[in-house]
Structure 1
C-alpha cells in the first residue's frame, strides 16, 4: 500500500482542548556525572594486565602528567566523560498493534484521538487497506451527522402550521374558500418582509407590464412595491366600505392610484409601509369571513373594468405573488410559486378574461378580425390552451366573440405552456415572442391569444 494517498485527518474538535491536554509533565532529575576512575581500588587493580602491579605509580604500566590526565596501558583517559564514554541509545516504544489501531478508528473519525494516536492511526492507514476502507466509511458516517443546514425558514412553513392547526380545531368563523389564495399570498409576502433588513427596503425593483405592443417598466424600491399593493388593494377595501387609504376622492384606475401615492410622499417609503398594508389585508380577510357567502358576487370597479369580489381577491392574490417574486429577486430570497390549487384558480381567472382582452385589442386594431360570429352563449371558434405542471389544466378560449363559448369541437389551434410561464406572460414579465410555448394550428389565432394574455398585465 506504499504510495497510496493518505486519508486526511478529521477536522479538530473543540472538545479536544481539555484543560490538562497540554500541561507539562513532572521534571526529570538530571543523571549523575560519571566518575573519573573506579570507586574501588580493587576494581582498578583488576583492570591491570597480569604482568604489572596495577598501581598508578608503576612506571612500567602508567604515568601521570601535570594536567591530571592518566595514561593507562597506552590509552589516555581524563575526567571528561565525553572523552571515553559512549552515550546510551534512547528507548524506542513499540508501535501499537493492528487490533489497537483498528479500535481507534471510530475515535479518529470523530476527532477524539490524541495527537500521538492520530499520527499512529494515519500512518497505519497508509499500510492497511481494510482499515483504510473502514476509516472512509466512518468518516462518511460522521459527515452525515453534521450536515450543513439552511437557516432560512421555508416560506410555506407558516401556512402549513396554520393549516394543521385549523384541521385539528376548525375556526369558529372560517375564511371562505374563495379568499384562501389572497390569505395565503399576503401571509407569504409578510413572512418575506419580516426577514429582510432595514437597508433592503430601498433595494431597487423594476415593475414590468405590457401596453399595446410595447413592453413597459418602472423603477421603484421594495417599499414602493408594497405601497403599490396597498393602494390597489384599497380599491377592494373601498368597495367593501372599509375606507380607501388614499381618501374618498382617489382615482379608480390602479396605475393612477399608484402614481398619486408615489407623488404625494415627501420622502421615499420605508419599512413603515409594511404595517398599514398588512393591517388592510387582515381587515379584508376578516370582513369577507363575517360577511357571509352572498358577498362573493359583489361588484368591484377598477375604473375601466369590474370584477366580482371573488375574482377581485383572486386578482389581488395573483399580483401579490408576482410582486413578491420581484422583491425576492431584488433581495436574493428564495420564493416558490403558489400551491397547485391556488395557481390553478389564478390561471382559470386569466383564461376567463382572455376573450374580453382579445376583443379589446381587436377594437384597437391590434388583433385580426373575427371570422365566424355566433350568438351569445353558442360555441364558436376556439383555441385550446393547455397549461402543464402544478396547477395546470385545459381551457378553450373563444376567439371571435367574448360572449361565445369555447368548444373542443370548434378548436382551430393549440398552445401548450408551463403554469408558471403562463402566469409570467399574463403578468407582463415574459413577452409573447419569448414565451416557451408549444404551438399547433392557426398561427394568427395563436399570436392574438398570446398578445391578449400579455395585455392583461398592468402597473
Structure 2
C-alpha cells in the first residue's frame, strides 16, 4: 500500500502538473478530493493526494519576476529614504524610491548622505576568533580532565604560536603562498635583509626548528642536505639551494608535523628543559630554545601577515613576558660580544666585579602587555644586576621591544624613555637589535 501518488506528481491521465497541484485540464475535481475529500483509500480514485514540495523560483532556471514600482507621492517617497538607506523597505517601495532617485536631485543627495551615515553606524566586525580563545578553551578542558602527560610551561608559547600561524595559513591560495616577503635583521650594527616568499618563510622555520627536533632525537628536515654549520642562516640557505623549485604550499604539512612532534617529544623530557640545543656558534638550553622558536614564529607570522595585508595580534601577555625575559637574560652576553668586537664602549666609570657580584646596571622597564622590570648588568655577563649600581633607565613598550630584538626597528629609532648614561643606553639598544638573525 503506497502513501503517495504513483503518477509522481503528473495528472492521473498522464497530463503534466502545472505547478499548482492539479493536472492541467482536469478541472477542480482532483484538487477538491485532495483538500476536502479526506477518508479516501490511498491509491484509490478520488483519494487524498500528498502534494510534492514546491521548488523555489531561485532554485530553478526561471528568471525572477520583476518587481513593479508602486505609484507614490513625492512627500511619501521622501519619508521612505531613511528606511531605504537601512534596506528596510518592501520590494515595491524600494523600486519606487530608486526610480524616483533618478529623477529628483534633492532626494538623490539626501539618499547618498543617509547611506554614508548607515555605513558609519554599522561597524564591520572581525571574523577572526579572539586570540585568547584557544587558551581559554584549553584551560577549561584541562581543568576538567588534566592531561596524562602535560605540555611543559616553557613549551606552551611555541605550541600556541605555531597553532596561530597554522590557522593563518590554512586558507591561503597559490597567490598568497608566493607573495613576496622580506626577512629583516641586524648584523654588525647595520640592517640586513633577504627576499623570499611566504612559502620560503615556512621553509626557513622548518629548517631552524629542525635544530630543536634533532636535539630531541627527531628526524632532521634537511635530510641528506649538507650544511657548513648548524647556524640558522646556513641551514636555511642550504635548504633553499637544494630545492629544485621555490617552496610551495607543500612545505606547510612537514612544518606542522614537525612542530607537533617537537611539542609531543618535549613533553616527555620533564619540566627542567636543560638539554642543550646547539645553534652553530652558541647553544641554548631546551627551555630557552623553545622560547626562541616561539618568538621567531610570531615575528615571521607578522612578516607573512604584512605581506598579505592581514592583521595579526601579538602573543598572549604571559607568553610575551617569557619572550621578553629570554631577551633580557641574553643581553649581558650580547653586550660582552659587542665589547669584544669593539662595537660597545667600555663605559666611562666601569665597575668591574667578579662573577656573581653586583655591578653597573641598566634598568629595563617594559610597559604594556607582558611588561615588567629587569636589571641588566653592563660590564660582565657574570655580574648581577643591582639597583644600587643603576646608571641608566630605559622604558619601552613590550611589543616595540620585541620588534627591536627581532631587528625590525632600528635602535636609533626605538621609541624609548631614556634617563642616565647615554652610552650605556645606546649599547643596550644596539645589543637588543643584535639578538636578531635571519
Interval containing the TM-score (normalised by the shorter chain): 0.7 to 0.9
Alpha carbon RMSD of aligned pairs, Å?
A: 3.7
Distance 1:412 1:142, change over 3 A: closer
Q: Which residue of 2 aligns with 1:275?
A: 253
Shift of 1:185: 0.3
Within a 5 Å distance, the mapping from 1:248-397 to structure 2 comes to: 250=227, 251-294=229-272, 296-369=273-346, 371-397=350-376
- For each residue in 1:322-351, what CA deviation from the matched residue of structure 2 results, as whole angstroms up to 9, or x when unmatched? 011000000111101111111011000000
- For each residue in 1:252-303, what CA deviation from the matched residue of structure 2 results, as whole angstroms up to 9, or x when unmatched? 1111111111111110000000000000000001111123224x11111112
Partners of 1:108 and 1:118 within 8 A in 2: no
Q: Which residue of 2 aligns with 1:183?
A: 159
- For each residue in 1:218-247, what CA deviation from the matched residue of structure 2 results, as whole angstroms up to 9, or x when unmatched? 111111111111111010111111121113
C-alpha distance in structure 2 between counterparts of 1:217 and 1:147, whole Å:
38
- For each residue in 1:149-191, what CA deviation from the matched residue of structure 2 results, as whole angstroms up to 9, or x when unmatched? 4444555544444444334433232211111100000000001
Partners of 2:180 and 2:195 within 8 A in 1: yes
C-alpha distance in structure 1 between counterparts of 2:143 and 2:178, whole Å:
39
Q: Secondary structure at the match of 2:170?
A: helix
C-alpha distance in structure 2 between counterparts of 1:213 and 1:141, whole Å:
51
Within a 5 Å distance, the mapping from 1:45-444 to structure 2 comes to: 110-112=88-90, 114-115=92-93, 148-154=124-130, 157-247=133-223, 250=227, 251-294=229-272, 296-369=273-346, 371-444=350-423
Partners of 2:181 and 2:195 within 8 A in 1: yes
C-alpha distance in structure 2 between counterparts of 1:159 and 1:196, whole Å:
24
Q: Which runs of 5+ in 2 are unaligned?
A: 1-57, 101-114
C-alpha distance in structure 2 between counterparts of 1:108 and 1:314, whole Å:
52
Shift of 1:23: 11
C-alpha distance in structure 1 between counterparts of 2:179 and 2:119, whole Å:
38
Distance 1:146 1:240, change over 3 A: same
Distance 1:192 1:117, change over 3 A: closer
Q: Which runs of 5+ in 1 are unaligned?
A: 1-13, 25-92, 123-138
Distance 1:449 1:107, change over 3 A: closer
- For each residue in 1:61-92, what CA deviation from the matched residue of structure 2 results, as whole angstroms up to 9, or x when unmatched? xxxxxxxxxxxxxxxxxxxxxxxxxxxxxxxx
Q: Secondary structure at the match of 2:410?
A: coil
Within a 5 Å distance, the mapping from 1:443-454 to structure 2 comes to: 443-454=422-433
C-alpha distance in structure 2 between counterparts of 1:450 and 1:213, whole Å:
11
Report the TM-score when normalising by structure 1: 0.70
Partners of 1:357 and 1:456 within 8 A in 2: yes
Number of aligned residue pairs: 362
Partners of 1:382 and 1:412 within 8 A in 2: yes
